[in-house]
């Protein structure tokens, strides 16, 4: 379920640290599309990526260049972009420039998916980079720093948050990836029963239909005069009247 | 004989404004918001909205502000560095046909037959500004037609970075925007002393988003962080002050890692509010809040042409978004119908441990 949701996310941020292998999840997310893959390789050498996506039309760039973005031979084909990793990219250019380029990639309508890899353990520019990227991304996969198989997923869509923690399992033979949500030990917070005021009293406080009708039929003696416009009931508060604003059980001393 | 005459500036009224303290006010497009900030947005001032985390509700506020301008035939100036402003304009909501006030009549017509003492109490009103005839309600599901939009005087300002940097701002975007606004304000209509006046609604969407702030992040020291932003808002205030323009700025303040920036920003704006959406927070499932979509905080109200600022009826405010209405209400807790064991008087009977105290259950009647 969440894997399907992740596939529809336009800008995805993958937060990992060392000792994590994000390749299975990337290959799974890209799937069998006939899109052009554009990979900005700052970390892995180009041939590494080429050997992974053998059958696909793939373009690898050592560094991000503005011209590379616009240089698309076939306009009709959609593009998936991967930045590996944004840490290196931010070091290479300034963070400001890096951000602007990511923004441009986001706004480019030929790019249907943008995958950004961020290593959380070596972020330049303190924490701002991560906060900003989190703000810009529509989906975030964060690897747990202790458990390699555990990820937390956050998807922002239509003004709503979707959050879950999942375990990754990878079947090497079938090369399929599975995400199973971690079901938290159900605390079973028993939904308290809807308490109606009727259940709280020892007498019957609610009226049924016939009683309601009877109530309407009842003619109060003074109402006829009031209706004719001859009389009016004036209420004058008494000196000893209290407005029920204090506790009536005050004097009980319990 | 001398007599005291109030010095009036012979303010000819402009469409969609009302006078308060001899100063024209415009509506934000949300009647209940107008009410809680003291009747609307003062002309010549800046209204600041601190965005919610996902920015979806602040977007709605922006749309209301612009749509109100379209309805009142004001001129619009829209700037954004993050998205295409023309897309925002395409999605402006259409004005609601005024709902007949049958509902109100229905309530008041049921006169009391007994317990007259409560008759004069009046209905408890938790939403504000519902009976004010200033501003409009909008239907978010229907958009204003493209013809109406084309008839409006709308200036779009799509901010793109360029390299020539010969001004006092580090980030060129701020300077470009200031110049654009200044050019827009030259028009005679926006001069407070001119005869044929109109309002210019200046809307800046997501000011201070990563695009604006990124240049400040390249240094490890925090000294320059946010400096440009503060300077910009200060300059903007000076520009707008003596004109018939109103600034409406949304700021994603949750992205700032130094909360002093926001506090300093508040000094350069006239009114400010903060939206706290429940989406994604623990408050989403809290039964106390289940009627609302988020909390609404008033962070600044300034005293314009008066000694004291407007004092809102309550500061515990929550909002909910309906298809045809954005309602800001006094936050009410749901009625306590449960007989819980944590009530105060129960505790008193439970712990009289000292002085030879005994428990209630020790006594057998």
Beta bridge partners of A36: A79
Q: What is the pLDDT of residues A119-166, one digit of tens each?
A: 888 876 656 788 888 888 889 999 888 888 888 888 888 778 888 888
Mean pLDDT of A50-69: 72
**Which chain B residue has its CA at the smallest distance from A191's CA?**
B287
Q: What is the mean pLDDT of residues B222-236?
A: 86
The alpha carbon of residue A105 is apart from the nearest alpha carbon of chain B, in Å, by 12
- A11 touches A141 (CB < 8 A): no
The minimal CB distance from A156 to the residues B54, B114, B218 is found for B54
Residue A39, min C-alpha distance to chain B (Å): 23
Burial class from Cβ neighbours inside 10 Å (0-12, 13-18, 19+) for residue B128 reads buried
Candidate from A149-153, A212-216, B8-12, B22-26 with smallest mean pLDDT: B8-12
A194 Cβ contact partners less than 8 Å away, ≥ 6 residues apart: none
CA-atom Rg of chain A in angstroms:
33
Interface contact flag, B257 A200, Cβ < 8 Å: no
Q: Are B293 and B321 in contact (CB under 8 A)?
A: yes
pLDDT-derived band at A207 (thresholds 50, 70, 90) equals: confident
DSSP B103-141: HHHHHHHS--SS-GGGGGG-----B-STT--SS--EEEE
Residues of B44-65 as b/e, b for ≥16 C-beta within 10 angstroms? Answer: bbbbbbbbbbbbbbbbbbbbbb
Smallest Cα–Cα separation from B77: which of B182, B174, B184, B237? Answer: B184
Between positions 123 and 182 of A, the ones with CB within 8 A of B are 125-129, 131-132, 135-136, 156, 158-161, 163
Closest CA of chain A from B303, distance in Å: 35
The pLDDT of residue B348:
46
Confidence of residue B164 (pLDDT cuts 50, 70, 90): low
Least confident of B7-21, B182-196, B206-220, B330-344: B330-344
- Within 8 A by CB and 6+ apart from B108, the residues are B123
Contacts of residues B159-165 at CB distance under 8 Å and 24 or more positions apart, as own/partner, are B159/B79, B159/B80, B159/B81, B161/A100
ipTM over 0.90: no
pLDDT value of residue A192: 57
Which helix (H) or strand (E) segment holds residue B346: the answer is: helix B344-350
pLDDT beyond 90 at B220: no
Greater confidence (B187 vs A223) lies with B187
CB contact under 8 A, B116 and A136: no
Give the Cβ contact number of residue A226 at 10 Å. 14
Examine the pLDDT at B364 and tell me if it is beyond 60: no
What pLDDT, on the 0 to 100 scale, is given for residue B163? Answer: 64
> Could you tell me which of B44, B337, B194, B342 has the C-alpha nearest to residue A195?
B337
- Check residues B337 and A109 and name the one with the higher pLDDT: A109
* Shortest Cα distance, chain A CAs vs residue B66, angstroms: 21
Contact A177, A29 (CB under 8 A): no
pLDDT of residue B248: 96
CA distance A235 to chain B (A): 6
Pick the more confident residue, B26 or B342: B26
Higher-pLDDT residue of A151 and B47 is: B47
Of all residues in chain B, the percent with pLDDT exceeding 70 is 77
Nearest CA in chain A to B212: A96
**pLDDT tens track for B110-154:** 566 777 667 666 666 667 776 667 888 898 888 988 888 888 889
The widest CA-to-CA distance across chain B, in whole angstroms, is 92
**Residues written for chain A:** 254
Determine the Cα–Cα distance for residues A89 and A81; give it in Å rounded to an integer. 14
Residue A243 — pLDDT band, cuts 50, 70, 90?
low
Q: Is B87 on the interface with A (CB under 8 A)?
A: no
Q: How high is the pLDDT of residue B177? A: 92
A123 close to A90: Cβ distance less than 8 angstroms: no
Q: For all residues of chain B together, what is the average pLDDT?
A: 81
* Mutate which: B80, B208, B210, vs A, most A CBs within 10 A: B210
> What is the average per-residue pLDDT within B35-49?
92
Closest approach of B210 to chain A, Cα-based (Å): 6
The CA distance from B23 to B8, in Å, is 10
**pTM for the full model?**
0.78
Among B119, B217, B345, select the one facing A128 at the smallest CB separation.
B217
Average pLDDT over residues B215-239: 81
**CA–CA separation, B261 vs A233, rounded Å?**
62
Which of A137, A159, A161 is best to mutate for the B interface (most B CBs within 10 A)?
A159
Cβ contacts of A139 on chain B, cutoff 8 Å:
none
Residue B296 has pLDDT above 90, yes or no: yes
Domain boundaries, chain B: 24-97+125-357
- Which pLDDT belongs to residue A67? 63
Which residue among A132, A158, A163 places its CB closest to the CB of B280? A163
**Strands (DSSP E) found in chain A:** 11-16, 36-41, 58-61, 79-84, 111-119, 139-143, 150-157, 160-171, 176-181
The answer to whether B116 contacts A135, with C-beta atoms less than 8 Å apart, is no
Judged against a pLDDT cut of 50, whether residue B355 lies above it is answered with no
Judge whether B288 is closer than 8 Å to chain A, CB to CB: no
The model's confidence at residue A57, banded by pLDDT at 50, 70 and 90, is: confident
Confidence of residue A182 (pLDDT cuts 50, 70, 90): confident
Domains contained in chain A, CATH given = 2-181 (3.40.50.300), 198-239 (no CATH)
Residue B106 has a pLDDT of 47
Task: Report the pLDDT value the prediction gives residue B351, as an integer from 0 to 100.
Answer: 45
Are residues B337 and A197, on separate chains, in Cβ contact within 8 Å?
yes
CB A200 to CB B339 under 8 A? yes
Q: What is the pLDDT at residue B58?
A: 93
Hey, of A104, A135, A138, A164, which one would you mutate to test binding to chain B, going by the most B CBs within 10 A of its CB?
A: A135
Quick one: three-class SS letters along B173-215?
HHHHHHHHHHHHHCCHHHECCCCCCCCEEEEEECCCCHHHHHH
- CA-nearest residue to A233 within chain B is B116
Select from B80, B61, B30, B69 the least CA-distant residue to B245: B69
Residue A48 forms contact with B (CB below 8 Å): no
The burial class, CB within 10 Å (0-12 / 13-18 / 19+), for B280 is: middle
Residue B290 has pLDDT above 50, yes or no: yes
Residue A47, chain B, CB below 8 Å: the answer is no
**A83-87, B57-61, B69-73: segment of lowest average pLDDT:** A83-87
What average pLDDT does this structure show over A67-94?
Answer: 75
How many CB pairs (< 8 A) connect A and B? 75
Of residues B298 and A50, more confidently modeled: B298
Say whether residue A66 is in contact with chain B using an 8 A CB cutoff.
no
Query: In CATH, which of 3.60.90.10, 3.40.50.300, 3.40.1010.20, 3.10.20.600 is domain B24-97+125-357?
Result: 3.40.50.300
**A218/B contact by beta carbon, under 8 A:** no
DSSP code for A151: E
Residue B100 has pLDDT above 60, yes or no: no
């Amino acid at each position: 379920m969440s894997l399907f949701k992740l596939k529809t996310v336009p800008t995805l941020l993958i937060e990992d640290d060392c000792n994590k292998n994000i390749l299975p999840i990337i290959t799974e997310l890209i799937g069998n599309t006939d899109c052009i893959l554009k990979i900005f390789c700052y970390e892995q050498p180009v041939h590494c990526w080429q050997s992974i996506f053998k059958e696909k039309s793939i373009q690898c760039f050592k560094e991000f260049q503005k011209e590379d973005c616009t240089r698309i031979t076939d306009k009709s084909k959609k593009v998936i972009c991967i930045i590996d990793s944004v840490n290196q990219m931010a070091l290479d250019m300034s963070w400001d420039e890096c951000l602007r380029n990511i923004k441009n990639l986001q706004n480019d309508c030929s790019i249907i998916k943008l995958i950004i890899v961020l290593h959380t353990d070596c972020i330049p520019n303190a924490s701002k980079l991560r906060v900003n990227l989190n703000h810009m991304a529509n989906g975030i996969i964060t690897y747990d720093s202790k458990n390699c198989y555990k990820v937390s997923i956050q998807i922002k869509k239509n003004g709503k948050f979707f959050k879950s923690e999942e375990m990754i399992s990878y079947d090497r033979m079938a090369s399929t990836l599975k995400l199973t949500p971690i079901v938290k030990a159900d605390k079973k917070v028993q939904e308290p029963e809807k308490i109606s005021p009727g259940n709280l009293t020892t007498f019957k406080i609610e009226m049924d239909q016939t009683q309601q009708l009877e109530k309407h039929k009842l003619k109060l003696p003074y109402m006829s005069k009031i209706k004719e416009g001859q009389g009016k009931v004036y209420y004058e508060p008494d000196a000893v009247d209290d407005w029920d604003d204090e506790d009536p059980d005050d004097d009980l001393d319990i | 004989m001398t007599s005291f005459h109030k010095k009036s500036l012979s303010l000819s009224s402009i469409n969609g404004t009302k006078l308060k303290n001899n100063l024209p006010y415009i509506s934000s497009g949300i009647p209940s918001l107008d009410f809680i900030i003291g009747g609307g947005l003062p002309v010549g001032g800046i209204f600041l909205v601190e965005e919610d985390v996902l920015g979806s509700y602040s977007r709605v506020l922006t749309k209301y502000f612009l749509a109100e301008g379209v309805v009142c035939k004001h001129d619009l100036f829209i700037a954004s560095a993050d998205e295409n402003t023309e897309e925002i304009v395409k999605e402006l909501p259409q004005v609601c046909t005024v709902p007949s006030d049958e509902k109100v009549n229905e309530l008041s017509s049921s006169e009391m037959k007994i317990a007259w003492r409560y008759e004069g109490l009046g209905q408890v009103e938790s939403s504000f500004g519902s009976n004010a005839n200033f501003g409009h309600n909008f239907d978010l599901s229907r958009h204003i037609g493209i013809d109406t939009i084309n008839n409006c005087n709308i200036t779009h300002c799509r901010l793109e970075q360029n390299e020539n940097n010969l001004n006092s701002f580090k980030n060129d975007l701020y300077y470009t925007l200031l110049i654009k606004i200044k050019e827009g304000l030259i028009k005679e209509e926006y001069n407070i002393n001119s005869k044929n006046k109109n309002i210019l609604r200046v809307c800046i969407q997501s000011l201070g988003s990563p695009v604006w702030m990124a240049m400040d992040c390249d240094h490890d020291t925090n000294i320059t962080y946010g400096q440009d932003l503060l300077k910009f808002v200060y300059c903007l205030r000076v520009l707008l002050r003596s004109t018939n323009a109103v600034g409406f700025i949304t700021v994603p303040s949750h992205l700032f890692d130094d909360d002093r920036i926001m506090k300093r920003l508040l000094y350069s704006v006239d009114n400010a509010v903060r939206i706290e959406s429940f989406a994604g927070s623990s408050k989403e499932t809290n039964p106390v809040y289940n009627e609302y979509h988020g909390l609404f905080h008033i962070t600044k109200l300034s005293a314009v042409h008066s000694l004291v600022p407007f004092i809102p009826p309550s500061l515990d405010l929550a909002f909910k978004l309906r298809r045809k209405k954005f309602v800001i209400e006094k936050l009410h807790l749901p009625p306590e119908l449960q007989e819980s064991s944590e009530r105060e008087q129960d505790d008193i009977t439970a712990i009289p441990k000292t002085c030879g105290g005994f428990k209630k259950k020790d006594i057998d009647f």
